[in-house]
Amino acid sequence: MDAIRTSALVKSYERGKVLALDGLDLHVPEGSVFGFLGPNGAGKSTAIKILIGLVEPTAGEAWVAGEPVVHSSARLRSQIGYLSQDPRFYTWMTGRELLVFAGELFGTGRAAARWRADELLEMSGLTRAGGRRIGGYSGGMVQRLGIAQAIVSTPRILFLDEPCASLDPLGRRDVLEFIARLRGKTTVLMSTHILEDVERVCDTVGIIDRGRMVATDEMGEIASKFAPLVLELEFETPEAATTFRTLWSAQLGAASADAEGMRVRIGTADLAQARAAALRLIAAHDLPLSRLGGRSASLEDVFVRLVGGAS
Amino acid sequence: MRRRPFFVLFGKELREQARSYRLLTLGLVFVFFGLASPLLAKFTPEILKGVGTDQGVTIVLPEPTAADAVAQFVKNVSQIALFVLVFLTMGSVVAEKERGTAAFVLVKPASRESFLAAKLLTLWLCGTGAFALSAFCAYGYTAVLFPAPNIASFVLGCALLLLHVLTFVTTTFFFSAVARSQVVAGVLSFLVWILLASLGGLGALSEFLPGRLLSASLETALGAPLSWEPLVGCAAIIVLSFSGAVLAFRRWEP
């Protein structure tokens, strides 16, 4: 059963001139940790804001925990937790006060809310900072407090918008471990553009580009489905790599050069055929090749193949 | 004990007013004008007399009375103190929209209406408290410096003046819910304030404007019968402002 489902979800701004979501179809299985991947501006945050009832869609339908998503529905919000991309809280409150306040908004009694706040402070490593004003917290502490307030009501569905954005490596590891522990108990939709985070904790992944879902599958399946194999070519100069990339893209499909600009990776279903085509192209244009090899595709390869043209 | 979201939000608003020193600022401003009003009424003629003597001019002014003290109080509260109150109100909603804290609250099971109602009620309560303190000081000091005015009439006059204050707090609150920045909210509030004050020559309609409450509050405080027209006008402005704020805030998307 799907914990989150959308059907042809559309959101436009400025009287239709800006299309943030363009018929988004999303299915998130119950109990899964879903990685919502996409380049900046792909529509991830807009989709999440619609799903939590903060923003009204222009067209289409959505369901969360079996409930149709209605703008500003208190019933919907009683079942979800949310951490925004750039969490902002009342800086005059202490961390503990914020968690008690959040708990009480969910209808928890004062005593139970205090007990839960202490539990969450401990869980997020903020016990000592719990009595200090949030205005004095570091970015990482605010992020951890943000995750704590998102799960204050033990939600059925948790929406995390870039949860590791401002964390140091240790904080990131803790948060990812924490998210992984929720698997099976809480459905987690985690938006990010950090592919490594998705590979570490998500069991299902969806890739969004320009407001549309371009791929959804289980983590182990998506690579073989969308970019089963990768042909890697390393040239002697960045210019040669760029020339090859342009020629390949124009003639055969998408390709990407790595950060150094000397390497080109090509996702393909038939490695032998791709290798032959690449060699023909290299020979025809006399490009200086230094290395050529093949390997299994990673999530990054899938991502680059599906949205590389846009980014 | 479980509390409804409105009461949780109301409690948070009260704590915020206290912690941000807004309540203290408001109290001090209103108490200052409550004490200064009778004092100014009493000593302004003597100060002017002294200035005139220095320059060789004799200024003859009537002996100040309790009515002058009450008039001074009405003037001070309706101008400077109200200015401070509007200044403290203009960011009440828009600042939370700008900072992102409104979105934090609105993804919890609290309605947008409760969010606004808790804020407005807190503003009213703080404004009323500060005003009551000010009126108490003004009456006490007037009674010390002049023969004390009739307390029942004074209280009734103050109630009208308070309604005038709360009307402008509510219109400012409306602009805070509608505007995209605190500056815009503040400018629009003061423009409406000026506009309503300049509509005094509209014949029968001007009887319903909040500005009429100022003269009515002074007259009533000094024993004249209560006129109901400005009460109706202010009640209508308050209801329209809050309804407008709710409608605008329901459509707001972070």
ipTM of the complex: 0.87
| pLDDT of res. A310 | 46
Give the residue-averaged pLDDT of B211-237. Answer: 83
Residues of chain B found within 8 Å of residue A56, distances taken between Cβ atoms: 253
Query: Structure pTM?
Result: 0.84
| pLDDT of res. A218 | 86
Residues of chain A found within 8 Å of residue B3, distances taken between Cβ atoms: 104, 110
Which position has the token pair 């943030």?
Answer: A20
In the sheet with A204-209, reading across from the earlier edge strand, the strands are A80-83, A157-161, A187-192, A33-37, A204-209, A212-218
Give the residue-averaged pLDDT of B1-23. Answer: 91
Residue A55, min C-alpha distance to chain B (Å):
5
Stronger pLDDT, B226 or B94, i.e. the higher one: B94
Residues of chain A found within 8 Å of residue B99, distances taken between Cβ atoms: 88
Contact B8 A80 (CB under 8 A): no
Give the H or E element holding residue B41.
Answer: helix B22-54
Residues of chain B found within 8 Å of residue A149, distances taken between Cβ atoms: 104
Domain holding B244, by residue range, is 5-251
Which position has the token pair 């409608």?
Answer: B247
| Antiparallel, parallel or unpaired: β A33-37 and A59-64 | unpaired
Residues of chain A found within 8 Å of residue B19, distances taken between Cβ atoms: 92
Instruction: Write down all domains in chain A, each with its CATH number in brackets.
Output: 2-218 (3.40.50.300), 227-307 (3.30.70.270)
Per-residue pLDDT of chain A (311 residues; tens, 9 = 90+): 789 999 999 999 988 888 999 999 999 999 999 999 998 889 999 999 999 999 999 999 999 988 888 877 788 889 999 999 889 999 999 999 999 999 999 999 999 999 999 999 998 889 999 999 999 998 888 988 999 999 999 999 999 999 887 788 888 888 888 888 888 889 999 998 888 888 889 999 999 999 999 888 888 777 777 767 788 899 999 899 989 888 888 876 655 545 467 888 887 778 888 889 899 999 999 999 999 988 877 788 788 777 765 44
Picking from A160-174, B112-126, B135-149, which range would have the lowest pLDDT averaged per residue? A160-174
Averaged pLDDT score across all residues of chain B = 88
Give the residue-averaged pLDDT of B18-33. Answer: 91
Which residues of B sit within 8 Å Cβ distance of A? 1-3, 5, 8-9, 12, 16, 19-20, 99-101, 103-112, 250, 253-254
Domain count across chain B: 1
HEC states along chain A?
Answer: CEEEEEEEEEEEECCCCEEEEEEEEEEEECCCEEEEECCCCCCHHHHHHHHCCCCCCCEEEEEECCEECCCCCHHHHCCEEEECCCCCCCCCCEHHHHHHHHHHHCCCCHHHHHHHHHHHHHHCCCCCCCCCEHHHCCHHHHHHHHHHHHCCCCCCEEEEECCCCCCCHHHHHHHHHHHHHCCCCCEEEEEECCHHHHHHHCCEEEEEECCEEEEEEEHHHHHHHHCCEEEEEEECCHHHHHHHHHHHHHHCCCCEECCCCCEEEEEECCHHHHHHHHHHHHHHHCCCEEEEEEEECCHHHHHHHHHCCCC
Determine the Cα angle at B218 with ends B216 and B219, to 5°.
65
Euclidean distance between CA atoms B119 and B7, whole angstroms: 11
Residues of chain A found within 8 Å of residue B101, distances taken between Cβ atoms: 88-90
- What DSSP state is assigned to residue A29? E
Alpha-helical runs (H) found in B179-228 = 182-197, 210-221
pLDDT at B240 over 50: yes
Stronger pLDDT, B85 or A134, i.e. the higher one: A134
Q: Which residues make Cβ contacts (< 8 Å) with residue B192, sequence separation at least 6?
A: B171, B175
- Residue among B3, B101, B103 whose CB faces A54 most closely: B103
- Paired tokens of B127: 């404004």
Contact B103 A84 (CB under 8 A): yes
Exposed / middle / buried, residue B55 (Cβ in 10 Å: 0-12, 13-18, 19+): exposed
Euclidean distance between CA atoms A34 and A205, whole angstroms: 5
Cα nearest neighbour of B112 on chain A: A72
Euclidean distance between CA atoms A130 and A93, whole angstroms: 10
Contact A104 B110 (CB under 8 A): no
| pLDDT of res. B12 | 97
Contact B254 A49 (CB under 8 A): yes
Interface test mutation site (partner A, options B16, B107, B113, max chain A beta carbons within 10 A)? B107
pLDDT at B83 over 60: yes
Residues of chain B found within 8 Å of residue A104, distances taken between Cβ atoms: 3, 8
Residue B124, min C-alpha distance to chain A (Å):
22
Q: pLDDT band at residue B52, thresholds of 50, 70 and 90?
A: low
| pLDDT of res. A311 | 41
Q: Residue length, chain B?
A: 254
- Paired tokens of A259: 């950060």
Interface test mutation site (partner B, options A72, A114, A143, A145, max chain B beta carbons within 10 A)? A72
